[in-house]
Structure 1
Amino acid sequence: MDFEQTTLFQNESKTSSPLADKMRPANLDEFVGQEHLLGKGKILRRLIEMDRVTSMILWGPPGVGKTTLAKIIATMTMAKFETFSAVLSGIKEIREVMKQAEERRRYGQRTLLFIDEIHRFNKAQQDAFLPYVEKGDIILIGATTENPSFELNSALLSRSKVFVMKPLGLEDMVKLLKRALTNTEKGLGSLNIKVNEDILCKIANYADGDARIALNTLETAVLGCTPDKDGALVITNDVLEQAMQKKSLLYDKTGEEHFNLISAFHKSLRNSDSDAAVYWLARMLESGEDPLYVARRMVRFASEDIGLAEPKALQQAVAAYHATRFIGMPECGVNLAQAAVYLALAPKSNAIYVGYNQAKKDAECTVAQGVPLHLRNASTKLMKDIGYNKGYKYAHDFEDKVADMDCLPDNLKGRSYYNPTNQGKEVHFKEIKENIEKLKRKRRPNDEF
């Protein structure tokens, strides 16, 4: 292995690097987590150890080891290892590297190309890789925090194996922290640090599966310690609280997690789980979601999933929207929580939603017959002469305010869109509709039955 390749990922100054970078695993045996992929005998580990790596996408949240794994592969492969950052590289750089890879292949040498944050490449940039992947000029390894199904070209995705990397578990996180505390060469082992298991668990929980956050939080806590009389650095709860400050929750308002959280919120409301609804609401708001977006979703929910089972649900949702516009974050969180609880506990009916979708389908897919003449307004003499408004029956002329008159076009005569349920106050609307239908049938000539 030549000098250039073995030093590809070396740091310029290890002493000034963050703890998370210093403690980066150098081989698969040091790698913590992802046992489903890298455990003994698992397919990805075998491919790496046999130097038979194929094009792949490493998909997972931050801090689970995507870049670290690529660096380990770089030290274990006989292929020429090239790395790209989707943030810094453009089409020109891509084509230059592809040209070099093509030359190497002619002489029997493979090129393994690692692209960090591959989801940041646009379609044109992704397309630039495709012919070289197809010809076998390069073996592509892409790292992404976003769902590849949404962010990568289908052609590129179909030629790559997607490996899902999971957030590290509590046990793995604590293992990493203990390793950092005892490692005298790269970690904090040369310092006299006192920390109990409970503190380590708190750091692990705070990091939420992100090894980088865990190690950097530990380092910040150590730097924030004042030596005691024995010269020891004791990490207390107070020190840890200062080191952690406000948790930065995993969230991307344009990415998959955005849709995952709003989906969890909506489905919790639908399932009448007020506790889960409040939790998912808090997750979104504290992660930086636009509160007006959440409020708009609740306005929609009030009609889609509750409807006339509780007519006041829409009023609550609209009021929460106006309150959110009026006072903003963080105060409006409680307004949105109130509306969320109301919507969750309200009786549910999707009769309005189903009915509208059926009407929409008929409007789009059936012959768009003209408005029946008796429903048209005869605003001129000509219109009246050709039959506009002829046969129209004024509902107020009838005792029960219901005329024996069809209001749908002939091709949809008898169609029923709103079919109320027995939920909540919709029972009342169901009775009203049934009575109206009885009155219509009673007043129609016998030959219409």
Structure 2
Amino acid sequence: MGADTTGGGPAAAAAVPGTRSGEPGGGLPGAVQPLAVRMRPRGLDEVVGQAHLLGPGTPIRQLVERDVPMSLVLWGPPGTGKTTLATVVSSVTRRRFVEISAVTDGVKRVRAEIDLARRELGMTGRQTVLFVDEVHRFNKAQQDALLPAVENRWVSFIGATTENPFFSVISPLLSRSLLLTLEPLGEDDLREVIRRALADERGLNGAVELDPAAEDHLVRLAGGDARRTLTYLEAAGLVVADGDTITPEVLEKAVDRAAVRYDREGDQHYDVISAFIKSIRGSDVDAALHYLARMIEAGEDPRFIARRLIVHASEDIGMADPTALQTATAAAHAVEFVGLPEARINLAQAVIHLSLAPKSNAVITAIGEAISDVKKGLVGPVPAHLREAHYKGAAQIGHGKGYKYAHDHPGGVVRQQYAPDTVKDREYYRPTRHGAEARFSEVLDRIRTVLRGKGTGKPAK
């Protein structure tokens, strides 16, 4: 699959840490291997997801089909296919496969495997795929040990990392490798992973069925991670007898995760997001966090949540706390850059900030009233002294005549008319006395007094 999942045969055997292609599963029978290992693809055409990397003419397909030495760095979240691609490359190209874990192995093991690969290459001409999982956990000296083998193509190096390789992989190694970015699997991809595992003889071989509601819950729990999907499916399969159906209740029991009743296309979607925003507006931070957790656990798109926070920051807080919009926007950027599950922390910070911030709807009221007047036809001509006066002949028709340059006057404010006659007395923005807006209320009153030569009355409460 497009994750460290489906497959069998040599590819699946080689996927077990510390084994080689000639040692299936380290001696483990197929039935003992995890479902995610048994269901690994046996070729590129069986891989689910990552179409941007595996389509016709893509670099990895060209490299595999032409069987040339290569070095790759695979960057992506867990369960998106890094180990899968490494094993498929090895199996399809008939290369010897060696897996090293940067968590448990050190330079001694790396050098020993490189020496063995050189001898194999010299004696038989057979290439070795050296797969280093979690390569970002190797320090600089350990990564340096890989350079001669990569430089001289004694091995085809494939490094897998969940961390940004530009920060975690040394530049010489990165510059000698093709960087491929893997993406979390989409819902359709995950459903294909599940259905193959249910039917395939390497998987559950039709022994159990999966209720549609349980499938939906399984997809939500996966979070784009196919390995997690198959692990949960296997656990649920152990709970039921052959021929039975895996229901949401069975899945809840197997994985100890409640199925949140939430339809992203139905009433729950609209009801929960409505309650979420109203809780923030009402400053109930605990209720707001509950609804945030509920949406996250139900698989709601975090980008949708972030967009609603950005809107709320101006609609219900505005100038009472101008930093609220900055926080909400930063959380949205974090969602794009980091993704779930880590971005839940950024979203929670934004929710707490917005919930506890002083509230004001003066911003949305102001733009709403201004748009309403424009729709009513209250547009009027731009005052002559504000019109463009820099083109030839403009002065002859009075453009710019009498304009007062604000910077030439005390405080940078001078009495003159800016709005058209039709709306010159309108006061759209009526700041509250809440939070920072109280200061803006005082500033605005002074400015309007200078501009119009009169007070502005009481600000909104």
TM class, shorter-length: 0.5 to 0.7
Q: CA deviation at 1:341?
A: 2.4
CA deviation profile, 1:174-228 (whole Å, cap 9, x unmatched): 11211122123x121252x233333223212221111111112122222222x5x
Which of 62, 73, 84 in structure 1 is aligned with 2:89? 73
CA-to-partner distance for each residue in 1:342-400, whole Å, 9 max, x for gaps? 4496699xxxxxxxxxxxxxxxxxxxxxxxxxxxxxxxxxxxxxxxxxxxxxxxxxxxx
> Structure 1's 336 and 163: CA in aligned 2 closer, same or farther, altered over 3 A?
closer
Q: Write the mapping of 1:226-305 to structure 2, written as runs, cut at 5 A.
A: 227=241, 232-246=243-257, 282=293
Give how far 1:142 is off: 0.4
Q: Which letter does structure 2 place at the counterpart of 1:42?
A: T
1:425 to 435, 438, 441: 438
**Identical residues among aligned pairs (%):** 38
Further displaced range: 104-113 or 198-207: 104-113
Residue of structure 2 equivalent to 1:142: 159
CA spacing shift, 1:97–1:17, aligned 2, 3 Å: closer
Measured on the aligned residues, the alpha-carbon RMSD in Å equals: 4.6
Aligned residues between the structures: 304
Residue matched to 1:99 = 115
Task: Give the secondary-structure state (helix, strand or coil) at the position aligned to 1:141.
Answer: strand
Matches within 5 A, 1:159-178: 159-178=176-195
Q: 1:114 to 1:36 in 2, by over 3 A?
A: same
CA distance in 1: counterparts of 2:199 and 2:358, whole angstroms: 50
Q: Of the candidates 37, 43, 51, which is equivalent to residue 53 of structure 2?
A: 37
Deviations along 1:77-121, one digit per CA (max 9) or x if unpaired, are 254432211112111122222333444555655433110111111
- The answer for the alignment partner of 2:217 in structure 1 is 202
2:99 is matched with 83
Tell me the CA shift for residue 64 of structure 1: 1.5
Q: Kindly tell me: are residues 111 and 341 of structure 1, through their superposed partners in 2, closer, same or farther at Cα, counting changes over 3 Å?
A: same
Counterpart residue number, 1:25: 41
Aligned partners of 1:38, 1:283: CA distance in 2, in Å?
A: 35
Q: How many Å separate the matches in 1 of 2:318 and 2:205? A: 65
Counterpart residue type for residue 224 of structure 1 = V
2: CA distance, partners of 1:134 / 1:99: 14
Deviation at 1:233, TM superposition (A): 0.9
Shift of 1:241: 1.9
Structure 2 distance, partners of 1:9, 1:190, is 24
SS in structure 1 of the partner of residue 98 of structure 2:
strand
Q: 2:79 aligns with which of 63, 81, 89?
A: 63
> Which amino acid in 2 is paired with 1:51?
D
Query: Structure 1, residues 277-325: CA drift from partner, whole Å, max 9, x if none?
Result: 9699759999xxxxxxxxxxxxxxx9xxxx99547989xx9xxxxxxxx
SS at 2:236's partner residue?
A: helix
- Cα 1:94–1:173, aligned 2, differ >3 Å: closer, same or farther? same
Which deviations, in whole Å up to 9, do the C-alpha atoms of 1:137-191 show, x marking residues without a partner?
332100111111121112211211111111111112111211122123x121252
Deviations 1:242-285 (A, max 9, x none): 223238xxxxxxxxxxxxxxxxxxxxx9xxxx9xx969975999
1:179 corresponds in structure 2 to 196
Task: State the TM-score, normalized to the length of structure 1.
Answer: 0.56
Which residue does the alignment assign to 2:354? 340
1:124 is matched by which residue type in structure 2?
A
SS at match of 1:57: strand
Q: Is the 8 A contact 2:75 2:182 kept in 1?
A: yes
- The 8 Å contact of residues 309 and 425 in structure 1, kept in 2 or not, is answered as no
Give, as a single letter, the amino acid of the residue that structure 2 aligns with 1:30: E
Distance (whole Å) between structure 2 residues aligned to residue 157 and residue 10 of structure 1: 31
**2: distance between equivalents of 1:54 and 1:426?**
63
Cα distance in 1, alignment partners of residues 321 and 48 from structure 2 = 54
Give unmatched runs, 5+ long, in structure 2: 1-9, 259-279, 298-312, 328-346, 363-429, 432-436, 448-461
- Secondary structure of the corresponding residue to residue 105 of structure 2: coil
8 Å CA contact 1:313–1:346 kept in 2: the answer is no
**2:3 maps to which residue?**
none
Q: Give the residue type in structure 2 aligned to 1:427.
A: F
Matched, 1:111 2:128: yes
Q: Is the 8 A contact 2:191 2:219 kept in 1?
A: yes
Instruction: Give unmatched runs, 5+ long, in structure 1.
Output: 248-268, 287-301, 318-332, 349-421, 435-449
**Cα drift, residue 65 of structure 1:** 1.7
Among candidates 13, 25, 42, match of residue 10 of structure 1:
25
3-state SS of 1:100 partner:
helix
**CA spacing shift, 1:16–1:347, aligned 2, 3 Å:** same
Q: Is the 8 A contact 1:22 1:187 kept in 2?
A: yes
- Secondary structure of the corresponding residue to residue 82 of structure 1: strand
Do the aligned residues in 2 keep the contact of 1:194 with 1:232 (CA within 8 Å)? Answer: yes
Give the TM-score of the pair, scaled to structure 2: 0.54
Q: Is the 8 A contact 2:21 2:97 kept in 1?
A: no
Residues in 1 aligned to 2:170 and 2:359: alpha-carbon distance in whole angstroms: 42
Decide whether the 8 Å contact of 2:236 with 2:251 is kept in 1.
yes
The secondary structure found in structure 1 opposite 2:147 is helix
Contact 2:87 2:97 in 1 (8 A): no
Whether contact under 8 Å (2:143, 2:173) holds in the other structure is yes
CA 1:432–1:128: 2 relative to 1, 3 Å: farther
CA distance in 2, matches of 1:41, 1:313: 48
CA offsets per residue over residues 40-90 of structure 1, 9 Å max, x none? Answer: 443312211221251111111111221122111121225443221111211
- Asked whether the equivalents of residues 310 and 426 of structure 1 are also in contact (C-alpha less than 8 Å), the reply is no
Superposed CA deviations along residues 228-247 of structure 1, whole A, max 9, x for unmatched, are xxx73122221122223238
Instruction: Name the amino acid aligned to 2:186.
Output: G
* Displacement after TM superposition at 1:131 (Å): 3.0
Of 227, 239, 242, the match for 1:224: 239
Equivalence for 1:158: 175
8 Å CA contact 1:177, 1:215 repeated in 2: yes
- d(CA) in 2 for partners of 1:212, 1:242: 19
